[in-house]
Structure 1
Amino acid sequence: MTRIGTTHAARVNFLIGFAIGFGIAGLLAFVNMANLHGTAVPYNSLLIQQMHRYDIGHEHAAGPGDMYSRGKERHITSHKELDEDRGTGGRDINLDSDSHFHHDDNILAKKLEKTVRVLCWIMTSPKNLDTRAVHVRNTWGKRCNKLLFFSSETNTTFPTIGLNVTEGRNHLTAKTIGAFRYVYEHFYDEADWFMKADDDTYVIVENLRYFLSDHNTSQPVYFGHKFKKMVKQGYFSGGAGYVLSRQALKTFVEKGSNTTICKQDGGAEDAEIGKCMSKLGIVAGNSTDMLGRSRFHCFDAETHLFGGYPKWYYNYDADGAKQGQENISDYAVSFHYVRPLKMYSMEFFVYHLRPYGIISQTQSLNFEKGL
């Protein structure tokens, strides 16, 4: 390129950069002026939208395996979108090898680990073992008192427990009923609470135990992210995960096999389980914290922070489809549609990253004991 051509390109780049900077500055000025005049302007939302529009057309130089290239990053709100994801790109990830792992004061967490025993079982499939389930096993799953994976086929190496159920979304209800029955028959005495989650769910198990610590496992109750349709008391999102008390599990398995009461297969799994629970007298409890903030989430953290919900969600969510950090509990329990790499990002941010000089204190965010 000639010197004249180089100079011209530099001027064009300068003008583009100047225009973008001027536009953002104008946006900030608009927000500030609107706030001064008492007009409520969603500052974060506007800024993020503007930056996102810019990023869509300006991908950075990245390799073909970089799933976080600008313009390709998007909120995932369905399993179809998650299936299009490229996983970890063949990377072998092990955060436990960190030689500077924190030595935090975990006395309270360890105490709850013994007194609030949680069995976690993961709904998966043969094709998802190496792309999804393995990352649950490598991250949050190891903090459960007992971790089980249920599939349509037995895999003695992974391992998974095979159920006599045809694979596919049309049979998730039968798969769920079969998994809970297996748990009840083999592990009922080894846990106090029994959580069902998907292989793209991320759970902060310590926060789950804290939430459950003020509830009675001898009561027929279960908790999760509540939807308000189809069932009078509401029902819980399957993807966000829901957790049953010992009494709820006992009642569900012993009485829920009655086909005149509960549908045994077909339909939307979480809705059918919710209908069954309601008919059996198992209470759909409240899982929000004392400030009314959500703990279980049926989308990933970014979606609940910044919005971008699918249209159906506004009609289903029992708490009004709120967004923003003021609506997410500091002791959040779960997020859904979490990409494999983001599982490890969550591990880093929750269990490794610390701001120097700030010592976090425990908060009392549970309601008084009871339902």
Structure 2
Amino acid sequence: MARRKKLTKVVFGVLLGVLISQFSSREECKQPKPAPRVAPAAPAHNLVFVGVMTAARYLDSRAKAVYDTWGRRVPGKVMFFSSEDSYSEDVPLVALPGVDDTYPPQKKSFMMLKHMYDHYIDQYEWFLRADDDVYVRTDRLEELLRSIDSKKPWFIGQTGRGNTEEFGMLSLESDENFCMGGPGVIFSRETLKRMAPYVDECLANLYTTHEDVELGRCVRRFAGISCTWSYEASDCDCEMQVILYHNQSGQAAFSGDLKQKEVHRAITLHPVKQPQYMYRLDKYVKALKIQNYQQETIDLHRGIASAMAELGYRIDHLQEVSLVEGLRLFPEERGSEGYLGDTSLLGLPQSLTRQKPTTLDDVLDWEFISKSLYSYKDLNPRRRIGSSLKEGLGDVVRDIMELINSYSKQRGRVIDFKEILYGYWRLDPVHGVDLILDLLLVYRKYRGHKMTVQVRRHAYVQQTFTGISVREVKNFDFPHISQRPSSTQAVPVHRKIVNQIISTFEQIPPIFHSDNVTKKETINFILPLSGRHEIFKRFLKMYEEVCIKQSEETRLFVILYTEKVEDFNRSSVLIENIQRKYSSSGVSVVTVNETFTRARALEHGLKLLAHDDLTLFIDVDIVFDTKSLLRIRQNTVKDKSIYFPIVYSLYNPKLLNKSYPLDDYAFFNSAIVDEDNGFWRQFGFGIVSLYKSDYVTLGGLNLLISGWGSEDVTFYDEAIKSKLKIVRSVDPSLIHVYHSIDCDINLDVFQRNMCLGTQASMLGSLKQLQKLYKKYEYLFKNLGTW
């Protein structure tokens, strides 16, 4: 009992302290702020002065992007420096007298530092010289600067000695260097005090055209220090080429994937040449901070749950717990703005048994990861690791390595990731993702007995779901539309022009739609048909409802074979009826009196088309709708792309204890697309849309192939080798209705194997086949004796 009272006092004291600190901070905000005073540790508002060098032509672009992003979060003050005639209403600007925007900006750089010295030397501990194409992680900058004794002379940056061509031509001694200007250069107050009074003398004695080289020479001459080498920065536990990072990609830097260890480790990132990349980078950094806050939230929930468990409270009852009468542990209800989260989920300790199954179906299965992903959930158990999982593994590995190396400097070692040897992963829809990873790492010790050795370590990782957040954004594509003045307000002339331009853009169709979408390009169906009257009856009814009655721009060419006389006669009557019913039905028939082969049938249809006609090769077993037609028009572009849709193929209904109506196409349009009813026909290439001209360019189908299949596979191979883009995607509106397949024993080995493979894949799902096997296991065991 005494222990419980003691813990209650501790928990209550912590919460009370938090409440008092929050109340005090709010009261302080209401009081007028006193004038700055000298203190051992500078407050955030006078820690560092940042001078950003820019030019008049960049004030509305780069400079504005800097000020809109990290510039507003500087723990001190930021000012922009440009030529004497510069002016801006968007950024705080100093137009330097007697300075122009010529390159190299040596005079601009020195005069900027002189301005800092003349006006701010006693107000800030640190001074940062930056360009308008650098991104600064201001929170990390503050952390770095507060870890260094600012009373000493410091000249901090990424050290340089010139590239290969310049080596020996910069008037540098063997032990001299300079701080590279791009990633940013940091001066302590003492350094600027020593150097700035001699700016004019440094400008009068320039040896090179390099601004950063001459700045380093001036600092070395009058402040007596050189740029801080990485191994000299003992106070800041860092390597300058890592934390002040320069990307060698030039204009393309930071325009691609930002999930790189350099981006995560750096304080400054250079160069960010385009404003849109600066905004994008800023959003990414903010997202990283949100992730850190979410992790802190989870840690706090775990701490609360652990402490309350010591008091005898169950984790799933903490929402109702009161610390004392009238003071609830979680004061806000679920759904309110101040709701602190569900501790019964977020407060669970790390464990691979968070999820406790109650039935066999609740058991979570692990999937095996090696060079490939081995999954029981797919008909193809071995498949490549998908982009989402690959990206997730990359995030996890990067976080693991950052955690492992967080104290690497003090320990005189560094550990690098090499590869994942194997792993397991599973998804708990309630709690999150579990991972077990076998990592191959490289251990490098550089203090004492130096060594490099490969090591293997297991990592057990849990990613906890923290909840779903929804944010509504109006006019997403044009966020400034919502800022237009109302019709009752006076609209300036320049704003009217902008609004007119925006309204024009709003009428432009999405950029991913090709021209043929807006024109409703005519789709020419070519349908080979031999027999199959009842199925053709369903197809023609569907074509009538989807294409003719809805005035779709389509034409249907039925290549009708005479070899099955009864079906031929009945199908001919169907075609004649629809032609009489609709004068502009677009349905034509080509009668062929020869042995059926699909490739030749398609060729007969193509002879009736013009060179620039959009063509769809289709089978009578396919069910489609208007969405399928839209995707055909979107994904097929003359001289550019061919569309090979992946259709959803239904399993044998008898195995599912079902029956499919022969003549009701609408039944299949509402078919449930899941792993029990059918499968994605990944290796079927017979349904294809393309322009006749592209078909001719590719050399067409192989007309020598007779019998079942393989002509489409051969054509697909030729298409891949061409310069045309292959669009290959699942289309949930294209349904292949099951029909039995007869594999002629006279087919060649390759075709027969393909036929038998397709026949087997269409029987049923793995689950259904397993049930069938278990039910008739005794029959399978006796097969060998028959």
1:162 to 64, 83, 95: 95
The answer as to 2:337 corresponding to 1:337 is: no
The CA deviation string for residues 282-329 of structure 1, in whole angstroms up to 9 with x for no partner, is: 3311357747571002227998899xxxxxxxxxxxxxxxxx956x48
Counterpart Cα distance in 2 of 1:278 and 1:367: 29
Partner amino acid, structure 2, of 1:217: S
Partner amino acid, structure 2, of 1:299: N
Classify the secondary structure of the residue corresponding to 2:78.
strand
2:78 to 129, 137, 147: 147
Counterpart Cα distance in 1 of 2:68 and 2:137: 14
The answer as to 2:65 corresponding to 1:135 is: yes
Counterpart in 2 of 1:175? 108
Q: Is the 8 A contact 1:116 1:209 kept in 2?
A: no
Counterpart in 2 of 1:23? none
The CA deviation string for residues 136-178 of structure 1, in whole angstroms up to 9 with x for no partner, is: 00000111110100000342634421112122113x1111110
2:284 to 341, 349, 352: 349
Counterpart in 2 of 1:277? 219
The answer as to 2:140 corresponding to 1:199 is: no
Higher relative contact order (CA 8 A, sep 6+): 1
The CA deviation string for residues 189-222 of structure 1, in whole angstroms up to 9 with x for no partner, is: 2211100111111000111121222222222211
Partner amino acid, structure 2, of 1:298: H
Q: Is the 8 A contact 1:131 1:340 kept in 2?
A: yes
Counterpart Cα distance in 1 of 2:88 and 2:407: 43
Classify the secondary structure of the residue corresponding to 2:217.
helix
Shift of 1:358: 4.0
Classify the secondary structure of the residue corresponding to 1:197.
strand
Partner amino acid, structure 1, of 2:44: K
Shift of 1:365: 7.5
Q: Provide TM-score, normalisation by structure 1.
A: 0.56
Classify the secondary structure of the residue corresponding to 2:243.
coil
Rate the CA distance shift 1:304–1:150 in 2: closer, same or farther, 3 A.
Answer: closer
Classify the secondary structure of the residue corresponding to 2:245.
coil
Rate the CA distance shift 1:367–1:191 in 2: closer, same or farther, 3 A.
Answer: farther
Counterpart in 2 of 1:75? none
Counterpart in 1 of 2:161? 228
Counterpart in 2 of 1:295? 243
Counterpart in 1 of 2:50? 120
Counterpart Cα distance in 2 of 1:166 and 1:367: 47
Q: Is the 8 A contact 1:151 1:161 kept in 2?
A: yes
Counterpart in 2 of 1:5? none
Counterpart Cα distance in 1 of 2:207 and 2:243: 29
Classify the secondary structure of the residue corresponding to 2:187.
strand
Shift of 1:364: 5.6
Rate the CA distance shift 1:290–1:342 in 2: closer, same or farther, 3 A.
Answer: same
Counterpart in 2 of 1:217? 150
Counterpart Cα distance in 2 of 1:176 and 1:112: 26
Shift of 1:126: 0.8
Classify the secondary structure of the residue corresponding to 1:273.
helix
Rate the CA distance shift 1:211–1:331 in 2: closer, same or farther, 3 A.
Answer: farther
Shift of 1:226: 1.3
Rate the CA distance shift 1:286–1:265 in 2: closer, same or farther, 3 A.
Answer: closer
Which portions of structure 1, spanning 4 or more consecutive aligned residues, are displaced by more than 6 angstroms?
300-306, 365-368
- Greater mean deviation of Cα atoms: 117-126 or 204-213: 204-213
Rate the CA distance shift 1:221–1:148 in 2: closer, same or farther, 3 A.
Answer: same
**Structure 1 segment 235-250 matched on structure 2, within 5 A:** 235-250=178-193
Partner amino acid, structure 1, of 2:246: C
Shift of 1:275: 1.5
Counterpart Cα distance in 1 of 2:410 and 2:93: 37
Shift of 1:367: 7.1
Q: Is the 8 A contact 1:211 1:366 kept in 2?
A: no
Partner amino acid, structure 2, of 1:252: M
- Greater mean deviation of Cα atoms: 350-359 or 237-246: 350-359
Q: Is the 8 A contact 1:240 1:336 kept in 2?
A: yes
Shift of 1:279: 1.8
Counterpart Cα distance in 2 of 1:125 and 1:132: 9
Counterpart Cα distance in 2 of 1:162 and 1:305: 30
Q: Is the 8 A contact 2:178 2:226 kept in 1?
A: no
Q: How many residues are treated as equivalent by the alignment?
A: 240
Counterpart Cα distance in 2 of 1:265 and 1:177: 15
Counterpart Cα distance in 2 of 1:265 and 1:236: 16
Rate the CA distance shift 1:341–1:187 in 2: closer, same or farther, 3 A.
Answer: same
Partner amino acid, structure 1, of 2:66: V
Gaps of 5+ in 2: 1-24, 26-40, 163-169, 297-398, 412-786
Classify the secondary structure of the residue corresponding to 2:121.
helix
Partner amino acid, structure 1, of 2:48: V
Counterpart Cα distance in 1 of 2:99 and 2:268: 27
The answer as to 2:132 corresponding to 1:184 is: no
Q: Is the 8 A contact 1:116 1:212 kept in 2?
A: no
Partner amino acid, structure 1, of 2:87: N
Q: Which has the larger radius of gyration?
A: 2
Counterpart Cα distance in 1 of 2:123 and 2:159: 27
Counterpart Cα distance in 2 of 1:128 and 1:305: 19
Shift of 1:347: 1.6
1:254 to 197, 219, 233: 197
Rate the CA distance shift 1:271–1:150 in 2: closer, same or farther, 3 A.
Answer: same
Shift of 1:255: 3.1
Counterpart Cα distance in 2 of 1:275 and 1:190: 26
- Greater mean deviation of Cα atoms: 154-163 or 131-140: 154-163
Q: Is the 8 A contact 1:113 1:209 kept in 2?
A: no
Q: Is the 8 A contact 2:182 2:270 kept in 1?
A: yes
Counterpart in 2 of 1:37? none
How many percent identity over aligned positions? 25
- Greater mean deviation of Cα atoms: 190-199 or 161-170: 161-170
Partner amino acid, structure 2, of 1:126: A
Counterpart in 2 of 1:49? none
Q: Provide TM-score, normalisation by structure 2.
A: 0.28
Counterpart Cα distance in 2 of 1:191 and 1:169: 29
Gaps of 5+ in 1: 1-106, 307-323
- Greater mean deviation of Cα atoms: 245-254 or 349-358: 349-358
Counterpart Cα distance in 2 of 1:256 and 1:218: 22
Counterpart Cα distance in 2 of 1:133 and 1:162: 14
The CA deviation string for residues 56-80 of structure 1, in whole angstroms up to 9 with x for no partner, is: xxxxxxxxxxxxxxxxxxxxxxxxx
- Greater mean deviation of Cα atoms: 348-357 or 336-345: 348-357
